[in-house]
Amino acid sequence: MADKLVDFMIQLAKDDDLKQSYIGDANKTMEKYGVSDEDRKLMLSKDYDKIQKRIGGNYKISHNTVTTAAKLKP
């Protein structure tokens, strides 16, 4: 099963149009992408420790302008 939050965060790091949409209306952008209500609330909380825990140890978050994720190399 695909993890919409992880997919969204990775795409957010790559796609400038998605990033601009997120900056304009984060909740609406995540909703359109299919991110669950619970995960949208988590992202909007900006609780970076909880976000990192949620996406797991195979990813590293970055939270400069927006919170994104990148897969760690094994």
State the chain's mean pLDDT as an integer: 92
Of 66, 70, 67, 68, nearest to 23 by C-alpha is: 66
What's residue 8's pLDDT? Answer: 97
Residue 2 has pLDDT above 90, yes or no: no
- Say how far apart CA 74 and CA 66 lie, in whole Å: 25
Give pLDDT tens digits for 54-74: 999 999 998 877 888 888 877
What's residue 63's pLDDT? Answer: 84
Give pLDDT tens digits for 10-39: 999 999 999 999 999 999 999 999 999 999
What is the CB-side half-sphere exposure of residue 72 using CA atoms within 13 A? 10
Domain ranges of the chain: 4-71
- Say how far apart CA 51 and CA 74 lie, in whole Å: 21
